[in-house]
Amino acid sequence: MRTVDIEKMVRPNILALKPYSSARDEFSGNEGIFLDANENPYGTLNRYPDPHQKALKTKLSEVKNVPFNQIFIGNGSDEVIDLIYRIFCEPGKDSAIVCPPTYGMYEVSANINHIQLHEIPLTSDFQLDIEKILQTAETDSSVKLIFVCSPNNPTGNRLDNLEKLLENFNGIVVADEAYVDFCPEYSLKSKINKYSHLIVMQTFSKAWALAGVRVGMAFAGEKIISLLDKTKPPYNVSIINQQVALEALSRVDEFEKRRDTILQQRAYLAEELSKLEIVKKIYPSDANFLLVEVSDANRIYNELVQKKVIVRNRNRQVTNCVRITIGTPGENEELLNKLRTLV
């Protein structure tokens, strides 16, 4: 158990914000005559969405086993990343830690918000360099938070030692679990009451197969959730987004079936790839992709593009590596056939 004074970490202008509220909050559903928001009275999607996303949060709370007041819903987890910077980091003054190779939006969003980054690379086995992280946070008081991604994109492995980090790091720890539904037993979501400075991010974009819908979420202590709620645009998640995510949550069996197929295909693809001469190494993965070291990543990437198969060239982050998303059985077979023609 570690209780960190969250309010001390928040930018003063954010702390002073009042939460969004409307008299409509007192009504459920569509009862009442709503003449307060300059909507058009005609049509089917004429009303603004529920800014508190009550129906979706209620169902999520049940499926994810996280209390309602400890759930935040964002327009994809990319929005959550941006909000976290805005809440905790003063532009041009504060800094954050990222551990490359990792998800690129932590850097893009830091650049947009004018937040300086400390890059502390993962070790050779793609784990956190805890000593260096703690040393950096200790010597630079501008460090307000750290992003850790587990399972990590693009390496595919989950990070050990996250509890050690939580026990010792004094800023906000953001655990990005975009891929955790592929290995749910490793989620940190059950620790949000143990560590008041932990934010766990998840998404509907991966195992839930809804990248087009843009719904991400954060689980944390109530203080952090209310800060996220105050900082978001009131109508950040559309009615359609909320409905589609809600419907997906009521079809858990379908979700599990698809996820199991992807996991089987991941094992099959890894086995078949390992038989190819151009493949030097396949990194173990807990996600829906494989990081694969090949003889020449640039050439293989380009030759695949010529054949209309797009993988991700990760050569600049991990030498001679491509990241391959697990597709349908048919897509995976086509990829293998095309790779078999390369020498």
Please work out the total of residues on this chain that contact ligand PMP, with binding judged by CB under 6 A. 12
Residues 212-251 that bind ligand PMP (CB under 6 A): 216
Smallest gap from residue 36 Cβ to ligand PMP (A): 31
Alpha helices in the chain (DSSP H): 12-15, 54-64, 77-88, 105-112, 130-139, 162-168, 222-231, 239-249, 252-273, 297-306, 329-340
Does 77 interact with ligand PMP (rule: CB under 6 A)? Answer: yes
Neighbours of 112 (CB within 10 A): 13
Given 82, 176, 181, 286, the residue binding ligand PMP (CB under 6 A): 176
Does 76 interact with ligand PMP (rule: CB under 6 A)? Answer: yes
Smallest gap from residue 103 Cβ to ligand PMP (A): 4
Residues 131-150 that bind ligand PMP (CB under 6 A): 149
Smallest gap from residue 62 Cβ to ligand PMP (A): 21
Does 103 interact with ligand PMP (rule: CB under 6 A)? Answer: yes
Taking the C-alpha atoms of residue 151 and residue 155, their distance in angstroms, rounded to an integer, is 8
Does 82 interact with ligand PMP (rule: CB under 6 A)? Answer: no
Q: Is the peptide bond before 151 cis (omega within 30 degrees of 0)?
A: yes
Q: Among residues 70 and 77, whose Cβ is nearest to ligand PMP?
A: 77
Taking the C-alpha atoms of residue 77 and residue 235, their distance in angstroms, rounded to an integer, is 16
Does 78 interact with ligand PMP (rule: CB under 6 A)? Answer: yes
Q: Among residues 37 and 108, whose Cβ is nearest to ligand PMP?
A: 108
Nearest to 102 by CA among 59, 149, 145: 149
Nearest to 200 by CA among 94, 60, 326, 9: 60
**Contact set with ligand PMP (CB under 6 A):** 76-78, 103, 149, 153, 176, 178, 203, 205, 211, 216
